[in-house]
Each structure stands twice: as structure tokens, then as C-alpha cells.
């Protein structure tokens, strides 16, 4: 049984906020809905769940029209932010409230490792336990679609990572569409089969995590998914290998073909920028090479973030490197450095009036 969620020309508005029109189809997959706060992520879930009414458009779930159907009749499972557990009921009573048999409660408790906390009331549960109870309660209704609103945002980092892994496994086992709203790029990348980027009530881009990460269609998506190097340049040449783009006095070779505009923005993810010392040139021969000096660096724990003032250009490049690389290169403020940018790591988008 394959259930598909189809949104068509879905629109709503309240106050000055306009949502939509949104067209979206979600099959048996996990769609991570990523966007900044106030972008309309929760509105999207509210529309599907039936908490908010659309002004126009349709919401079809397995061919069944949901718009206009009261939320209790939709069979849409929603895990609310912070869980929305009933505070006067124990964890067991919360799950049993939705379950049709007590066997189902025990089954879900075992699945989500809740057996030991079933007799406790929500205020005494940890954030992670609360989220798992909320998830168990929602799954107890055997919903046709699962919606999660920021399931991990209220958790501490170690618990967040653990629950993220658990959710990933759980979602795999469900054969229903899952929409998971988050403002955290890592959560979206880890959980989503596809990622939908939401901005100002509209879908900005939708695609696989790697597509969204490496082939953003706008500056906004690039920024939001961590591409900090956004350089505005001009296409000077179009060869069989790809376009050459000029940024000030720097020319970079790209593999981008079919570039019709001449004004482009190059997106280069910091993780794709390689560094080597200025006197040892053993890097990728095909890569674009520019020289610069370290303007600033920051230890972010699992990686170092380095801002490099490019010698020939009026711009700064940001690179992230692993600690061993940082130490091997002996980087410090003012260190002269060679920057390698592989052509295939440069993604071009037309420069339009978009502001990010």
C-alpha cells in the first residue's frame, strides 16, 4: 500500500504573512523541510494536519481530499514541537490515549525504548524521552502520513545526535510519507531522502541532500546550506570543459556548461576549498590555484574555519579544514597559502536581483 501526499496550489495567509502557492508531492520517503524561523515550515505542517485552513488549493492523501476535513478525521500523525504530551497523564496513558489496544502501547514502548519510563508523567521525563513518547503516541494511531515539527530542536547536542540516528532508522521502517520540519541543516541532511528549502512561505528548492548542498538554485539556498563563498563574477569564455569566470583579476575554470547569462554567482562550499603551503605544490593539478594570506581562523571543534584574503582578488574565501590539515600546514594569521578550488566544486547560478 503506497500512500502519497499531494499538495496542489496550496495557499493561506494570516496577517501580513502569505504562504504559498505550494505544490509538493511526497511519496514513501522522508522529506526534510528546512528553513529559517518564520519561513512557513510550521504553517505547512499545520495545513496538512488541519490546524490551519487553506485559502485555496488541495491537499490529497492517498487520493483522499483533506482540505475541509476536521483534523480528527484526517489520519494525519503530527508530532508537535516539544511533544505536546498531556501533562495529567503518564507516558503510558499518553500513548494508550491514541492506541486501540494495550499490546500496541507495549510494542511501541519497546520500539522506542520507553518501557522504563511508561509510568512517569511528562514533567519528569527528559527532553529526549518526551519526544519519543510523543512519537509513540502519534504512531499508535497508525497514521497515513507522519509530520514532525522540530523534533530535535529542544534537545542537548549528544541526545540530539542519538535521537537523530534512531529517527533515521525508524523512518526507514515506516512505509508512509514523513515530513520533518527543522531549521537545522545537519538534521535535514541526516534525515531527509529529499530536502525542501522553504523561504517566505514558498518552496525555494527541493531535491536530494547532495543536490541541495552542491547545486543550490539561489544564493538563499546556498547560504542556508552552509555555502559561504558566494562570488559575483562574469563569464568570459565557454569551452567544452565548462565556463571560465572572472572575479576581479582572478579567473576560475568551472565545469559548468549551459551557462546562458554572463553575470553569475559562484557558489563554493568551504569544505571543497583545499589549502596547501605556498612552497609545496603537490595538490590537484587540474584545480584552480590562487594565492592568499590567512586573515582569520576559528577553531570550531571538529574543524577549523579559515578566512583567506585572496591576493589578486578583492574578495575573501572561507575554507574549512580538519584539525590534522590545519596543524600540518602550520596555519596562523598572515600565513601565505595556496588555495585550490577544483573546477567541479564551483557551482554557478545566474546573478539576479535576489538578496540573501
Partner 1 sequence: MPDHSSRTRSTALRLDWLTVALILGGVLLVYYLAPMVSLFLSVPMGEVVSRMGEPSVVNAASTSMLSASITTVLATVFGLPLAYWLARAETAMTNVVLAIVVLPLILPPTVGGVVLLTVFGPTAVVGGAAVAAGVPLTRSLPGVVLAQTFVASPFVVVTAKAAFEAVDPTLEYASRSLGKGRWTTARRVTLPLAGPGVLAGMTLVFARAMGEFGATMMMAYYPRTMPVQIWVSFISLGLDNAYPVAILLVVIAVVALAVLNTIASNPWK
Q: Under the rule (CB under 8 A), what is the footprint of partner 1?
A: 49-51, 70-78, 80, 84, 86-88, 97-98, 137-138, 140-141
Question: Which CB sits closer to partner 1, 61 or 231?
Answer: 61
Instruction: Give dist(CA 207, CA 194) in Å, integer.
Output: 5
Q: How far is CA 305 from CA 72, 143, 270, 319, in A?
A: 49, 44, 8, 6
Phi, psi of 180 (to 5 degrees): -120, 115
Cα–Cα–Cα angle for 79, 82, 87, rounded to 5 degrees: 95
Question: Which CB sits closer to partner 1, 141 or 316?
Answer: 141
**Shortest Å distance, C-beta 90 to partner 1:** 13
Question: Which CB sits closer to partner 1, 97 or 223?
Answer: 97
Secondary structure of the chain: what % helix, strand, coil (to 5)? Answer: 30, 35, 40
**Shortest Å distance, C-beta 86 to partner 1:** 6
Question: Which CB sits closer to partner 1, 51 or 352?
Answer: 51
Is there a contact between 275 and 330 (Cβ–Cβ < 8 Å)? no
Question: Which CB sits closer to partner 1, 17 or 86?
Answer: 86
**Shortest Å distance, C-beta 25 to partner 1:** 22
Instruction: Give dist(CA 267, CA 349) in Å, integer.
Output: 8
**Shortest Å distance, C-beta 100 to partner 1:** 10
**Shortest Å distance, C-beta 57 to partner 1:** 20
Phi, psi of 89 (to 5 degrees): -120, 150
Question: Which CB sits closer to partner 1, 137 or 244?
Answer: 137
In sign, the C-alpha dihedral spanning 274, 277, 282, 286 is: positive
Question: Which CB sits closer to partner 1, 15 or 324?
Answer: 15
Instruction: Give dist(CA 139, CA 129) in Å, integer.
Output: 15
**Shortest Å distance, C-beta 72 to partner 1:** 4
**Shortest Å distance, C-beta 101 to partner 1:** 14
Choose among 288, 284, 230: nearest CA to 255: 288
Amino acid at each position: 500500500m503506497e500512500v502519497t501526499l499531494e499538495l496542489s496550489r496550496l495557499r493561506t495567509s494570516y496577517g501580513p504573512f502569505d504562504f504559498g502557492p505550494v505544490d509538493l508531492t511526497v511519496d514513501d520517503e522522508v522529506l526534510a523541510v528546512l528553513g529559517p524561523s518564520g519561513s512557513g515550515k510550521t504553517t505547512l505542517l499545520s495545513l496538512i494536519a488541519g490546524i490551519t485552513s487553506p485559502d485555496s488549493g488541495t491537499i490529497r492523501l492517498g487520493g483522499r481530499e483533506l482540505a475541509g476535513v476536521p483534523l480528527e478525521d484526517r489520519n494525519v500523525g503530527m508530532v508537535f514541537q516539544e511533544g505536546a504530551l498531556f501533562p495529567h497523564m503518564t507516558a503510558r496513558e499518553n500513548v494508550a490515549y491514541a492506541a486501540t489496544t494495550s499490546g500496541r502501547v507495549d510494542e511501541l514502548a519497546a520500539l522506542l525504548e520507553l518501557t522504563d519510563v511508561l509510568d512517569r508523567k511528562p514533567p519528569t521525563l527528559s527532553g529526549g524521552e518526551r519526544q519519543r513518547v510523543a512519537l509513540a503516541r502519534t504512531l499508535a494511531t497508525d497514521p497515513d502520513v507522519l509530520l514532525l515539527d522540530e523534533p530535535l530542536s529542544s534537545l542537548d547536542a549528544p541526545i540530539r545526535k542519538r535521537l537523530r540516528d534512531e529517527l533515521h532508522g525508524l523512518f526507514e521502517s515506516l512505509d508512509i510519507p514523513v515530513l520533518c520540519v527543522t531549521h537545522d541543516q545537519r538534521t535535514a541532511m541526516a534525515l531527509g531522502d529529499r530536502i525542501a528549502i522553504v523561504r517566505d512561505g514558498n518552496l525555494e528548492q527541493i531535491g536530494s541532500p547532495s543536490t541541495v548542498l552542491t547545486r543550490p538554485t539561489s544564493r538563499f539556498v546556498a547560504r542556508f546550506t552552509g555555502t559561504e563563498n558566494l562570488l559575483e563574477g562574469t563569464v568570459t569564455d565557454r569551452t567544452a570543459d565548462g565556463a571560465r569566470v572572472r572575479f576581479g583579476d582572478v579567473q576560475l575554470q568551472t565545469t559548468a556548461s549551459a551557462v546562458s547569462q554572463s553575470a553569475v554567482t559562484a557558489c563554493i562550499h568551504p569544505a571543497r576549498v583545499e589549502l596547501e603551503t605556498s612552497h609545496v605544490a603537490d595538490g590537484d593539478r587540474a584545480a584552480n590555484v590562487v594565492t592568499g594570506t590567512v586573515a582569520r581562523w576559528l577553531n570550531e571543534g571538529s574543524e577549523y574555519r579559515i578566512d583567506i584574503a585572496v591576493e589578486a582578488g578583492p574578495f575573501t574565501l572561507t575554507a574549512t579544514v580538519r584539525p590534522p590539515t590545519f596543524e600540518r600546514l602550520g596555519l596562523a594569521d598572515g600565513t601565505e597559502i595556496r588555495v585550490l578550488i577544483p573546477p567541479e566544486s564551483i557551482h554557478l547560478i545566474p546573478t539576479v536581483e535576489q538578496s540573501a
